[in-house]
Amino acid sequence: MSALARYFNVLGKRVGGYDRTETSLTNALATQGMEINYADDIDSIPSDYTKIENIDEVLVVYTPAIPRTSVQLRYFQMNGFMLFKRSQVLGEISKNYKTLAIGGSHGKTTISAMIAEIFR
């Protein structure tokens, strides 16, 4: 998700998100101007993301790591915001490019490093 956050941030989009715990990665995203919150409640969502008049300007991207019971996710679902799985967004971003994608439960980093070395 951090790569997607950075991608949209570089495009000049305002980026915010939720993570269960603060880490060096979430701190780095915040340093780059992204709004990260750590409490799964509506009050933690920046107010302009929740305004119904902005509904067409807010893209909510989620992963299987977010439980269906998430208060923030439920808020966006129940108020008609555009919700997409991370995989859908990656597909949209990459559909106009030649793409090599690595997926699975284990070994993605290792295989990605091996492919990068081959290309290098």
* pLDDT, tens only, 4-61: 999 999 999 999 999 999 999 999 999 999 999 999 999 999 888 887 777 888 899 9
Question: Is the overall model pTM greater than 0.95, yes or no?
Answer: no
Mean of the per-residue pLDDT values for the chain? 92
In the chain, domain spans: 2-119
User: What would the DSSP string read from start to end of 53-115?
Assistant: GGGGG-EEEE-TTS-TT-HHHHHHHHTT-EEEEHHHHHHHHHTTS------SSS-HHHHHHHH
Distance CA 57, CA 14 (A): 10
Q: Identify which has the larger pLDDT, 51 or 71.
A: 71
Task: Give the whole-number percent of the chain exceeding pLDDT 70.
Answer: 99
